[in-house]
Amino acid sequence: MSDKTTHFGYQTVNSEEKAGKVAEVFHSVASSYDLMNDLMSAGIHRLWKRVTIEMSGVRRGHKVLDIAGGTGDLAAKFSRIVGSDGLVVLADINDSMLKVGRDRLLDRGIANNIQFAQANAQYLPFPDNSFDVITIAFGLRNVTDKEMALRSMYRVLKPGGKLLVLEFSKPPSTVLSKIYDGYSFNILPKLGKLFASDADSYQYLAESIRMHPDQETLMGMVEEAGFSNCDYHNMTGGIVALHRGVKA
Q: How would you classify the pairing of strands 131-137 and 157-168?
A: parallel
User: Is 75 part of any known ligand binding site?
Assistant: no
DSSP string, the chain: ----EEEETTEEEEHHHHHHHHHHHHHHHGGGHHHHHHHHHTTTHHHHHHHHHHHHT--TT-EEEEET-TT-HHHHHHHHHH-TT-EEEEEES-HHHHHHHHHHHHHTT--TTEEEEE--GGG--S-TT-EEEEEEES-GGG-S-HHHHHHHHHHHEEEEEEEEEEEE---S-HHHHHHHHHIIIIIHHHHHHHHHS-HHHHHHHHHHHHHS--HHHHHHHHHHTT-EEEEEEEEGGGTEEEEEEE--
User: Is 236 part of any known ligand binding site?
Assistant: no
User: Is 121 part of any known ligand binding site?
Assistant: yes
User: Is 200 part of any known ligand binding site?
Assistant: no
Could you tell me which residues are annotated as the binding site? 71, 92, 120-121
Could you tell me which residues are annotated as the binding site for S-adenosyl-L-methionine? 71, 92, 120-121
